[in-house]
Structure 1
């Protein structure tokens, strides 16, 4: 069965659709090593694989393995070539069954930790049980959508969207709405947080209730930049007008905005907050640094699960989730960033997003004092527009101008 599953996972579309339910633990010894190679290949090339390609890549990724191990891998791939590939629905059912068993073992381990006093938060158990139902397809409580053409059209109306503050982007895409999940990514020091607080300021100016979870730097720093961005003034100006600007902010935005330092948070903590407080927009800076319950053999599995959880927060919480993320080293000095340049689990990250916005710079920030920033929309489920927009970042007022 393991060889048949590996053969099925050569199909890129099947791999992407089922990656969240596949774990290395399903495969023994050298088959697990082949699975690792296939995951890397799917992440890098975004295409169907062949046994011959997997063999060549495995040798490239593992140059120090012995001649005997090389022969074993070649023999296994030859066996895989000749086994029958199961139909999509049968293979998906097998993965569901394996996932359910693996998840049950994980829940049992968490329960033991609770009994032994190692874990105090019982919501971790509930979260794990919920994941078994949602990811394994175990729930049969479907919500039927009744045909209503007017409601369908109203749901697509631009009036339902929260407009972007960045005017040159708004000209192409009005904005994002409830239930949407957007990824903003860039290399370090290019301006992820600056753009995050810039758009957050714009949403606040529309009267939306926003929450910002910060874990990359002390939360008071992005808070200060948010205030600069709202009033389009430098920190020096804020310092000279502390009482007035502080009073204005508290009066105009105090009730609609919350900032939290979330170093060490689990994604379930964010979900509980959203379920309780019902914000309109949630910023997570950075999503990759949150933890997620479960046992993962590789970080791409953990990230895939984390991004799935963030998307589900947007859906179940009826809010817009804006996640800030790191771009890989491949994006260093690049002006145009495609979501394939996301660090870590690029395929599974991008698969969850309704929109992916990369922020690029034409050269290394470390050596050039240049504040041109190019926004690339490489995924867009809102209106399908893809393209590039170049702006100038004013680091003093934390604003972006065409």
Structure 2
């Protein structure tokens, strides 16, 4: 039995208990295995009370009897259980993650089965079932060996300052934000039809030339094929008419410039965190795009702002584990017609989203929809920048030109 093997490991080595007890589904075990549940509770009690590095059978039996009043027959049953659990051959300690993952999935499968019956009987909502299924897919047991940051100033300077990351097409952003490097997470916010997707296409068409990795674009906003056309235009610097006038030549040019490393995933692959995680594990990302991040499902909280906070925390971890992340979200109604957007104009959040980002860029526009000018305002900037980054522009603003016909933004 998996749970008995886990108990064996926890008793033999306190370190395993400290690192992995949080992954044990105590509520599920309480319902299905009463005696095993009590053993986990007693082990937790013992390690919290004593500094011992392991627990012998005698110590565990004594602690158990101190916590629970037992009849003679129950004491015999407990002794037999401990003999079976602790005398068994110790599983390979390296397999603890596998054991806990099997335990986790089995518990969740049981929860799913019960929830499915409740949905059938009208006692539970389908959304609750889907959220539980997302948990089944998404969360995994991980080995979390602590790793301290190496305090080497020369190496820190080389990796964080001297070595450029992904540079922007807009020189204003190079002088203000500087390069994007692994671990950097930021977002762009603007009102609808301001040119957020065009901004992304313009910038990634420059960034893809600087890396051998893939640019992974998760699109759950507009039709993916439209996004793809805009990327073709931005990479080649051509209008739609010019693009389709010579399809064969432009396809060859596009492949030469991008190396087939631009991957755009549409709604089905971009709307659930579990699916995104699965795709990233099989990819070699140099940059990750979420357009739009607020629409990603798989998180649950009783308040919308806290649910959004979970999404942004998840995106931040994605940036740490894989590559820099650029996300897109909407600006609130108070940003309508404003040129210079401020941090409090981020939709559905005054603090939760903003607190998770390393940098935030607002894009404003005039009331006149025919205007080609856009107004960039950096409302947050925790990036270190590059050698040519200007301190006075760290929270700067700039007027730029959006050439929608070729899907590019240009400095003025």
Same fold (TM over 0.5): yes
Residue number in structure 2 paired with 1:276: 282
Cα gap change, 1:260 to 1:307, in 2 (>3 Å): same
Residue number in structure 1 paired with 2:42: none
Contact 1:169 1:389 in 2 (8 A): no
CA shift, 1:175, in A, is: 1.9
Contact 1:292 1:305 in 2 (8 A): no
Look up the SS of the partner of 2:311 in the other structure.
helix
CA shift, 1:345, in A, is: 2.4
Residue number in structure 1 paired with 2:352: 348
Aligned with residue 230 of structure 1, among 235, 244, 265: 235
What is the alpha-carbon distance in structure 2 between the residues aligned to residue 217 and residue 314 of structure 1?
Answer: 24
CA shift, 1:359, in A, is: 0.5
Cα gap change, 1:323 to 1:265, in 2 (>3 Å): same
Higher mean alpha-carbon deviation, 347-356 vs 378-387, is at 378-387
| Structure 1 runs, 4 residues or longer, greater than 4 Å off | 107-111, 114-123
Unaligned runs of 5+ in 2: 1-105, 117-128, 385-390
Q: How does 1:102-113 map to 2 (within 5 A)?
A: 112-113=111-112
What is the alpha-carbon distance in structure 2 between the residues aligned to residue 274 and residue 340 of structure 1?
Answer: 32
What is the alpha-carbon distance in structure 1 between the residues aligned to residue 179 and residue 333 of structure 2?
Answer: 29
Aligned with residue 136 of structure 2, among 125, 129, 135: 125
Residue number in structure 1 paired with 2:339: 335
Aligned with residue 172 of structure 2, among 165, 168, 175: 168
Q: Does 2:245 align with 1:244?
A: no
CA shift, 1:123, in A, is: 6.6
Aligned with residue 398 of structure 2, among 389, 392, 395: 389
Look up the SS of the partner of 1:359 in the other structure.
strand
Look up the SS of the partner of 2:241 in the other structure.
helix
What is the alpha-carbon distance in structure 2 between the residues aligned to residue 232 and residue 140 of structure 1?
Answer: 46
Normalised by the size of structure 1, how large is the TM-score?
A: 0.65
Deviation string 1:194-214 (CA, Å, 9 cap, x unpaired) is: 101111111112234201111
Contact 2:176 2:396 in 1 (8 A): no
Contact 2:287 2:325 in 1 (8 A): yes
Aligned with residue 303 of structure 1, among 308, 314, 322: 308
Count of residue pairs the alignment pairs up: 284
CA shift, 1:114, in A, is: 5.0
CA shift, 1:129, in A, is: 6.1
Task: Name the Cα RMSD after superposition.
Answer: 2.5
CA shift, 1:255, in A, is: 2.7
What is the alpha-carbon distance in structure 2 between the residues aligned to residue 360 and residue 120 of structure 1?
Answer: 36
CA shift, 1:173, in A, is: 3.2
Unaligned runs of 5+ in 1: 1-106, 134-138
CA shift, 1:113, in A, is: 2.2
